[in-house]
Chain A
Amino acid sequence: MPSPLPDAGRVRALIARGKLKDTLFQAVGIVFLAVGLLVIFLLVGDMAIRGAARLNPDFFTHFASRRAAQAGILSAWVGTLLVMLVTALAAVPLGVAAGVYLEEYARRNWMTEIIEINISNLAAVPSIIYGLLSLGVFVYALGLGQSILTAGLTLALLILPIVIVSTREAVRAIPESIREASMAVGATRWQTCRHHIIPYAMPGVLTGVIIGLARAIGETAPIITVGALTFIAFLPPMPFAEIGAGDRAGLFDWLMSPFTVMPIQVFNWTSRPDPAFEVNAAAAGFVLMVMVLSMNGVAIWLRYKMRKNIKW
């Protein structure tokens, strides 16, 4: 190709060098990504293989037992689901309300600055500290005992900063013109939040909830601190189920029930001397991973459904 440029050769060499770096960076990126993914696949795959022997229906329908082959995770997975339910029910409304308040109502001053900084700090507080706090507040001061409710609220506190921060980010991403449009037809601030800001922020909030719950589901330390038991051979009472002669459980009795959760069960089994329990631990670990992934899956699907309708 004839070139009108006097120093075309030099320019082309320059471009070639630039492109080489492009390619190099891509290659490095792909390698790092592959390493990360590989580690996860190996971990999950390893657990699946090692626990395969125990991954049968009985494993899910049996309580823990002293004999490894008969031990199951019934009380653990039920406990985890119920604790997560309480966590989400407590953290989402609180976190969304706090986030929306801070963005839409609170005046910018030194007070809100301090609150802002401390919310970020809270997200970095070690989970065991939340456990200690809850032991003092929920278990002793409020007398909620070593219950599902206590555990759920503890984990809710733990993920609250994550929910608040993601709510604020989602709220901030809503264009000012939408608020003005709503206020201009005569809506109050609350109507604007209720009909516009909160629904449009929900996909972003869900992202925070996913991250938060994924963190909470694997937490062991604070749950042990508030006194979860490791050996539970019963389920929390179903609402209105018969308990004893002519006695029926109340709608919320399960909240006050003792419980255990998946990570505690896994921890318990790995600390047994009998190697047969290692198989159980691997199987339970795999189930926990599947629980996390399916929870995320549901949230991502929900988020997708919501986002489809929101375009600025």
Chain B
Amino acid sequence: MIDMPIQESAPLKAEARGLSFHYGEVRALKNIDMPIRDKKVTALIGPSGCGKSTYLRCFNRMHDLYPGNRYEGEIRFYPDDANLLAPEIDPIEVRMRIGMVFQKPNPFPKSIYENVAYGLRVRGESNKRALDDKIEQALRGAALWDEVKDRLGELASRLSGGQQQRLCIARALATDPELLLFDEPTSALDPIATGAIEELIHELKKRVAILIVTHNMQQAARVSDYTAYMYLGEMIEFGKTDEIFIKPQDKRTEDYITGRMG
């Protein structure tokens, strides 16, 4: 498939506005502004500890699970035009609409079927037919169906690492998220499994907005439409991926991309 040229008019799915984040006294993110466009892949790159994952985890309010964390600023979410970080917004509702895939595959020690079913069960779905349908769809969406359709009752831990990660993607897909967060989804995988996940991301962006953290610059270049370079909790540069990689505006971005730093 040939990518359509990116139109600036691609609708916004979310937008960080003046977003800062504090772990206790430590200010981990500083005043970040960034648009996340619908049905596009936005990649976050930058050296370890620059705050990419911290930023990503703001979107599904993962930081709320731990005491002492504090957000400042806003993440507008569209089409609602609501601030995801507002105190009156229930983080559980946020997580029901925004899915996440983690760095290390983290399937539940349950069957393949139950792993994908979990999000649906939490939403009160108990109809076996409806569950079966949605689980098949999700597994197909994660390009895993053909490999597991005959052994849905088997334990997820029996799958290979790459399959487990695709299972985690299916788990996130099953509940039809509007935005998918990927936190270095291939860092624990071999090149072949990585390729499969990248291809999958390419497919998924037809239906959902994607925000992905990656350590791997080639990966950002391959999968994303937009790229943000972060350094020490700040967003240094944001732009269309080809522009960032071909002619970065900021010296620090250029140093990182060309391997002089990071």
> Which B residues are in CB contact (< 8 Å) with A311?
109, 155, 157
Kindly identify, within residues 95 to 110 of chain A, every residue whose CB is under 8 Å from any CB belonging to chain B. Answer: 107-108
Q: Are B172 and A185 in contact (CB under 8 A)?
A: yes
- B106, B121, B171, most chain A CB atoms within 10 A: B106
Nearest Cβ on chain A to B3's Cβ, whole angstroms: 29
Please encode chain B, from 74 to 95, with 1 for each CB lying within 8 Å of some chain A CB and 0 for all others: 0000000000000000001101
- A181, A186, A309, most chain B CB atoms within 10 A: A186
Cα distance A182–B114 in the bound complex, in angstroms: 12
Query: Is A188 an interface residue, CB under 8 A from the partner?
Result: yes
Cα distance A309–B100 in the bound complex, in angstroms: 25
Candidates A108, A186, A195, A200; contact of B96 at CB < 8 Å: A186
Residue of chain A at shortest CB distance from B174: A185
> Which A residues are in CB contact (< 8 Å) with B118?
182, 185, 187, 195
Query: Is B51 an interface residue, CB under 8 A from the partner?
Result: no
Q: Are A186 and B123 in contact (CB under 8 A)?
A: yes
> Which B residues are in CB contact (< 8 Å) with A183?
62, 65, 95
Residue of chain A at shortest CB distance from B95: A186
Nearest Cβ on chain B to A145's Cβ, whole angstroms: 45
Residue of chain A at shortest CB distance from B172: A185
Query: Is B214 an interface residue, CB under 8 A from the partner?
Result: no
A-B pairs with beta carbons under 8 A, tally: 66
Candidates B92, B157, B168; contact of A186 at CB < 8 Å: B92
Nearest Cβ on chain B to A189's Cβ, whole angstroms: 9
Query: Is A242 an interface residue, CB under 8 A from the partner?
Result: no
Given A179-B65, A312-B109: A184 and B104 interface contact (C-beta under 8 Å): no
> Which B residues are in CB contact (< 8 Å) with A186?
92-93, 95-96, 119, 122-123, 175
Kindly identify, within residues 159 to 189 of chain A, every residue whose CB is under 8 Å from any CB belonging to chain B. Answer: 175, 177-188
Nearest Cβ on chain A to B131's Cβ, whole angstroms: 14
Please encode chain A, from 35 to 66, with 1 for each CB lying within 8 Å of some chain B CB and 0 for all others: 00000000000000000000000000000000
Cα distance A108–B109 in the bound complex, in angstroms: 28
Residue of chain A at shortest CB distance from B123: A186
Cα distance A200–B155 in the bound complex, in angstroms: 14
Residue of chain A at shortest CB distance from B171: A185
Nearest Cβ on chain A to B225's Cβ, whole angstroms: 24
Given A180-B62, A195-B118, A311-B155: A188 and B109 interface contact (C-beta under 8 Å): no
Q: Are A185 and B95 in contact (CB under 8 A)?
A: yes
Given A309-B109, A310-B109, A312-B109: A180 and B119 interface contact (C-beta under 8 Å): no
Residue of chain A at shortest CB distance from B168: A181
Q: Are A180 and B106 in contact (CB under 8 A)?
A: yes
Q: Are B100 and A184 in contact (CB under 8 A)?
A: yes
Query: Is B5 an interface residue, CB under 8 A from the partner?
Result: no
Q: Are A180 and B102 in contact (CB under 8 A)?
A: yes
Q: Are B60 and A184 in contact (CB under 8 A)?
A: yes
Nearest Cβ on chain A to B168's Cβ, whole angstroms: 7
Nearest Cβ on chain A to B40's Cβ, whole angstroms: 22
Query: Is A191 an interface residue, CB under 8 A from the partner?
Result: yes
Cα distance A186–B122 in the bound complex, in angstroms: 7
Query: Is A196 an interface residue, CB under 8 A from the partner?
Result: yes
> Which A residues are in CB contact (< 8 Å) with B67?
107-108
Q: Are A196 and B108 in contact (CB under 8 A)?
A: yes
Cα distance A44–B172 in the bound complex, in angstroms: 57
> Which B residues are in CB contact (< 8 Å) with A107?
67
Cα distance A191–B65 in the bound complex, in angstroms: 14
Cα distance A309–B111 in the bound complex, in angstroms: 9
> Which B residues are in CB contact (< 8 Å) with A181?
102, 106-108, 168, 171
Cα distance A186–B171 in the bound complex, in angstroms: 11
- Listed by A's residue number, 9 A-B pairs whose Cβ atoms lie within 8 Å are A107-B67, A179-B65, A183-B95, A184-B60, A184-B102, A185-B99, A185-B118, A185-B122, A311-B157
Q: Which 9 A-B pairs have the closest CB atoms?
A: A185-B119, A186-B96, A177-B106, A311-B157, A184-B100, A310-B109, A181-B106, A186-B95, A187-B122
